[in-house]
């Protein structure tokens, strides 16, 4: 099977002078990007990295991340991007649980490593640090990996089932696990995504997503190189930089999580920027409130294609998409739908007993197809729980209608049972988002002696706006069945979020 780096070789041959990456107003051509990847491949090979080895990569968003990723592919290894917000114990757990062999890390991240950590990370052979302040023999200057590209080995032949990406699941529900994605997984899903999203080779893709999760890896890095497009890479997300980049570089495609779009749309000067180059959006990684989609369509995406995508790390990336279309009343058609299964992917709703649920009945969303992960690394029990008879059990609750459209109602673990009545937080959150001054909303369960659980809500407001709790409760009472009305609503300056922009419900439980 072709090495994952072959696409980069082809782009550097066919369009060597085309801009591949824009970063902090500097550009990298495809030929420059390939040479950078070859230089790192040369240095890694010289250091002893080879086929099937695993490279942990814990560096800030910048072109070197992409060059190191493709250097790893060239050598037939697996890349394991790590969350740059991990602290000492989390870094150690990631290294140990996935038997990482080489680690490339930024100095500010390496400072979180605990003394003698290498004694516990028994598979780790070498650590390379960018901006190193370490004088230990175990640590090496990452600049030493930038070697002669002419000495790099050619792309190594690899088997379809070889692990190419090792991605860590979100640690919001416990210890992160390594998701093994094979070359075949990536070919079936990442390489098909550009067509599913109607992307072309002339795209200018804006990346404000972190590069250590499947959303950024797929719709930013892989889509760019697979198509031969241009990637405008931001070191981190902030609304002003996004707006400036779209205007300055005429960006055409913006993949984003809902929180990012909300902040862009709420930016006070959003109307002062020329955003007419945008022709594609993909919104995903979290439930998308209907009012946000309406605002996006009305404010900056009147003529653009807006796609809501659903997927997860264990399914490589996307498994469903649906275009956001407004009806004659200005409302989103199929507002709560995540769309139909994409080509080559099977989906079903499993009832509690494991059989197929009836149409419209709530059950667990299950996925089958070439996109389903190989499994969790060194975790056979967790793998067998997640994949049963070839079906990946997502942990998401949803329904399917007669036309094959799926609706997601919530995470299984977030279900609230109040006095025997099932409550899905997304139903309450949707109502709170209807209030024009609410910026963010999240609902969690709180124990109750009489009812077992009751829903409690948290909201943040738009800049300098004021809303009373009584006003929000009145809205809920007017739009929700009595048992769904929150027992309390708390207004915070901002809701806690993880690095990918997802609201952290577990952090809210401390309030």
Average pLDDT value for residue range 4-22? 98
In a domain, 81, yes or no: yes
Residues in CB range of 381: below 8 A, 6 or more apart? none
Q: Please work out, in degrees rounded to the nearest 5, the angle formed at the alpha carbon of residue 9 by the alpha carbons of 5 and 13.
A: 170
Pair 251, 222 in one domain:
yes
Phi and psi, residue 80, nearest 5°: -125, 85
Pair 437, 363 in one domain:
no
Pair 404, 419 in one domain:
no
Domain holding 492: CATH number? 3.30.300.30
Domain-ending residue, one of 349, 380, 412: 412
Average pLDDT value for residue range 97-106? 97
In a domain, 193, yes or no: no
Pair 371, 231 in one domain:
yes
Q: How many CB atoms lie within 10 A of CB 435?
A: 19
Angle between helix axes 469-479 and 425-434 (nearest 10 degrees) is 120
115 HSE (CA, 13 A, CB side): 0
**Cα–Cα distance, 494 to 31 (Å, whole number):** 43
Whether the Cβ atoms of residue 455 and residue 464 lie closer than 8 Å to each other: no
Pair 172, 299 in one domain:
no
**Three-state secondary structure along 232-273?**
EECCCCCHHHHHHHHHHHCCCEEEECHHHHHHHHCCCCHHHC
Pair 422, 384 in one domain:
no
In a domain, 1, yes or no: no
Per-residue pLDDT at 135: 67
Per-residue pLDDT at 287: 67
Residues in CB range of 76: below 8 A, 6 or more apart? 3, 50, 51, 52, 155, 156, 157, 158, 162
Pair 99, 110 in one domain:
yes
Pair 406, 420 in one domain:
no
The whole model's pTM is what? 0.87
Per-residue pLDDT at 1: 58
Max avg pLDDT among 28-42, 273-287, 325-339, 473-487: 28-42
- The pLDDT tens digits for 181-212 are 999 999 999 999 999 999 999 999 999 999 99
Lowest mean pLDDT among 46-60, 109-123, 370-384: 109-123
In a domain, 134, yes or no: yes
Residues in CB range of 405: below 8 A, 6 or more apart? 322, 334, 337, 339, 340
Pair 382, 355 in one domain:
yes
* Residues of the chain by 3-state class (helix, strand, coil), percent to 5: 30, 30, 40
Per-residue pLDDT at 174: 52
Structural domain boundaries, residue 111: 6-187
**Is residue 171 predicted with pLDDT exceeding 60?**
no
Strands (E) in 133-209, as ranges, are 139-141, 163-168, 178-182, 204-207
**Is residue 172 predicted with pLDDT exceeding 60?**
no
Per-residue pLDDT at 23: 98
In a domain, 196, yes or no: no
Pair 302, 362 in one domain:
yes
Per-residue pLDDT at 2: 79
**Cα–Cα distance, 73 to 54 (Å, whole number):** 10
Per-residue pLDDT at 127: 96
In a domain, 49, yes or no: yes
> What is the DSSP secondary-structure string of 319-354?
EEEEE--B-TTS-BTTTTEEEEEPTT-EEEEE-TTS
The DSSP output letter for 503 is B
The per-residue pLDDT of the chain, averaged, comes to 92
Average pLDDT value for residue range 165-190? 84
Domain holding 43: CATH number? 3.40.50.12780
Overall number of domains in the chain:
3
In a domain, 201, yes or no: no
**Cα–Cα distance, 65 to 51 (Å, whole number):** 19
Question: Residue 283: beta bridge partners?
Answer: 256, 308
Residues in CB range of 491: below 8 A, 6 or more apart? 458, 459, 460, 461, 467, 469
In a domain, 199, yes or no: no
- The pLDDT tens digits for 345-401 are 999 999 988 899 999 999 999 999 999 999 999 999 999 999 999 999 998 899 999
Lowest mean pLDDT among 13-17, 120-124, 284-288, 310-314: 284-288
Pair 159, 255 in one domain:
no
Domain-ending residue, one of 373, 390, 412: 412
Per the document, the length of the chain is 511
The DSSP output letter for 497 is B
Domain-ending residue, one of 156, 187, 218: 187
Lowest mean pLDDT among 18-22, 260-264, 298-302: 298-302
Q: Token pair 């931001």 is at which residue?
A: 234
Pair 407, 268 in one domain:
yes
């Amino acid at each position: 099977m072709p090495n994952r780096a072959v696409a980069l070789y082809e782009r550097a041959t066919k369009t060597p002078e085309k801009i591949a990456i824009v970063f902090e107003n500097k550009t990298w051509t495809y030929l420059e990007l390939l040479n950078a990847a070859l230089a790192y491949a040369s240095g890694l090979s010289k250091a002893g990295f080879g086929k099937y080895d695993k490279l942990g990569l814990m560096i800030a968003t910048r072109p070197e991340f992409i060059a190191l990723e493709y250097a790893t592919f060239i050598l037939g290894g697996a890349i394991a991007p790590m969350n740059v917000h991990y602290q000492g114990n989390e870094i150690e757990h990631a290294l140990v649980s996935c038997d990482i062999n080489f680690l490339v890390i930024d100095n500010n991240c390496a400072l979180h490593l605990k003394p003698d950590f290498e004694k516990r990370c028994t598979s780790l052979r070498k650590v390379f640090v960018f901006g190193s302040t370490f004088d230990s023999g175990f640590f090496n200057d990452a600049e030493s990996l930038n070697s002669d590209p002419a000495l790099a080995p050619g792309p190594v032949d690899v088997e379809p089932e070889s692990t190419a990406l090792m991605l860590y699941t979100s640690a919001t529900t416990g210890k992160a696990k390594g998701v093994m994605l094979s070359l075949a997984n990536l070919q079936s899903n990442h390489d098909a995504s550009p067509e599913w999203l109607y992307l072309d080779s002339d795209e200018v893709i804006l990346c404000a997503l972190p590069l250590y999760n499947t959303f950024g890896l797929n719709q930013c890095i892989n889509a760019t190189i697979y198509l031969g497009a241009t990637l405008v890479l931001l070191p981190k997300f902030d609304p002003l930089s996004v707006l400036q980049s779209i205007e300055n570089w005429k960006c055409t495609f913006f993949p984003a999580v809902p929180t990012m779009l909300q902040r862009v749309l709420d930016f006070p000067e959003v109307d002062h920027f020329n955003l007419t180059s945008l022709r594609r959006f993909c919104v995903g990684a979290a439930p998308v409130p209907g009012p946000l989609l309406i605002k996006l369509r009305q404010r900056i995406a009147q003529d653009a294609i807006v796609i809501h995508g659903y997927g997860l790390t264990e399914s490589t990336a996307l498994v469903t998409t649906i275009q956001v279309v407004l009806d004659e009343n200005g409302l989103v058609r199929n507002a709560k739908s995540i769309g139909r299964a994409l080509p080559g992917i099977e989906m079903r709703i499993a009832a509690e007993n494991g059989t197929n649920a009836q149409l419209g009945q709530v059950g667990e969303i299950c996925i089958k197809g070439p996109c389903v992960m190989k499994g969790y690394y060194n975790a056979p029990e967790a793998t067998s729980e997640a994949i049963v008879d070839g079906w990946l059990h997502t942990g998401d609750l949803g329904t399917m209608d007669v036309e094959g459209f799926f609706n997601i109602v919530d995470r299984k673990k977030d279900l609230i049972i109040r006095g025997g009545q099932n409550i899905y937080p997304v139903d309450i959150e949707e109502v709170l988002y209807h209030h024009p001054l609410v910026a963010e909303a999240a609902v969690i369960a709180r124990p109750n002696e009489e009812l077992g659980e009751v829903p409690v809500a948290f909201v943040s407001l738009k800049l300098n706006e004021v809303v009373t709790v009584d006003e929000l409760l009145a809205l809920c009472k007017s739009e929700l069945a009595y048992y769904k009305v929150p027992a309390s609503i708390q207004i915070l300056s901002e809701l806690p979020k993880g690095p990918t922009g997802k609201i952290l419900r577990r952090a809210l439980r401390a309030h």
